[in-house]
Amino acid sequence: MSTSPSRFAAFVRGKAFTNFILTVVFLNAIVIGFQSYPEADAAYGSLLRGLDLLFLAVFTVEVILKLTVYRTSYFKDGWNVFDFIVVAASLLFMSSSFVSVLRILRVLRVLKTVSSIPSLRRIITSLFMAIPTIGSIALLMIIVFFIYAVIGTTYFAGISPDYFGDLGKSLITLFQIATFDDWANIYRPIAEVSPLSLLYFVTFIFIAVFVMLNLVVGEIVNNAANIQEDVADIEKEVSEVKADTSEIALLRSEVRELKLLLLEERQRRHDAAV
C-alpha cells in the first residue's frame, strides 16, 4: 500500500510527465498561432477551439495532480503559483465576454515552457537577481542621456531642430542613436556644419551602448554562473547525503546481523546450561 502513493508522486515529479506537459505547451502555442490567421480560424475555428479546451483540461489536471503531490509546498514555488493563476483565470474567464483577456491568458500559457525547462528557469532567475544592479545601471544611463540631451540641445538645436530642437526631442533622438536606428543620417547633416559633433556622437555611443550594455550583460552572466555553482553544490550535497544514507543502511544491516549472532550465542549457552 505504501508503494502506490510513492509511485504516483514519482510519476508526477518524473521527466516523462514533464515532457508530456511541455509537448502540450508547444502544441498549444501552435494552435494559438493558427488562430491568429483569420483564414485558418474561419476554416478550422471549431477544431482549434476544441483543441484549446483540451489543452486547458490537461493543464487543469496537471495543477490538480501537483497539488495532490506537493500539497501546501506547491505554492512555495513562484512558477507553480504563476501556472495556477493562469489556469484558474482561464477557467474563470472561459465563458465571459472578456475575449481579449482570455486571449492574453491563452498566450501566457506558453510561458509554462519556462517553468518546465530548468535551464530557462535559471536564466529567468538570473534576470530577476540582476534587477537591483540593472536598476543602478539604468539610473546611470538616465543621467548620461540627460547630460548628452542638454549638450545636444545647446549646440545642435539651430542645426537640426527636428532632432535636437528641445530636451524631449533630444532624448528621443539619443534613444534612436542608442539603438543604431538610422543614426548616421542624423549625424551627417550636423557634421557638415559642426565637425566637432563627431566627438559628441562617438562618446555617447561608446558610453551608452557599449559600456552600459556590457555592464547589464555581464551582471546577468555573473548571476547565471552563480546559480549554476549553487546547483552544483546542492547536487554534491545530495550525492553526499545519499552516500551517507547507504552507509547508514549498511551499518544497520551489520548491527542486525550482530544482534542475531548474539541471540544465537545466548540461546546456545542457555541450551548448554540446561
Q: What's 229's domain CATH number?
A: 1.10.287.70
**Residue 137 shares a structural domain with residue 270:** yes
User: For 175-229, how does the pLDDT look when each residue is reduced to its tens digit (9 = 90+)?
Assistant: 999 888 888 889 898 998 888 889 999 999 988 888 887 887 777 777 666 665 5
Instruction: Give me the pLDDT at residue 8, please.
Output: 84
**Residue 137 shares a structural domain with residue 147:** yes
pTM for this entry: 0.55
**Residue 184 shares a structural domain with residue 228:** yes
Residues 80 and 115: beta-carbon distance below 8 Å = yes
Number of domains comprising the chain = 2
Instruction: Give me the pLDDT at residue 2, please.
Output: 47
Cell 544611463 locates to 141
Give the domain range for residue 227.
118-274
**Residue 30 shares a structural domain with residue 149:** no
In percent, how much of the chain has pLDDT > 70?
83
**Residue 244 shares a structural domain with residue 258:** yes
**Residue 78 shares a structural domain with residue 131:** no
**Domain limit, last residue, from 116, 138, 173:** 116
Instruction: Give me the pLDDT at residue 239, please.
Output: 59
Q: Residue 145's pLDDT band (boundaries 50, 70, 90)? A: very high
**Radius of gyration, CA atoms only, the chain:** 32
Q: What's 46's domain CATH number?
A: 1.20.120.350
> For the chain, what is the mean pLDDT?
80
- Ramachandran assignment for 194, one of left (phi > 0), alpha (psi -120 to 50 degrees), beta (any other): beta
Whether the predicted pLDDT of 81 surpasses 50: yes
More confident residue, 252 or 4: 252
**Residue 259 shares a structural domain with residue 140:** yes
Q: Which among 200, 152, 142 is positioned nearest to 173, based on CA atoms?
A: 152
Q: Residue 174's pLDDT band (boundaries 50, 70, 90)? A: very high
**Domain limit, last residue, from 53, 88, 116:** 116
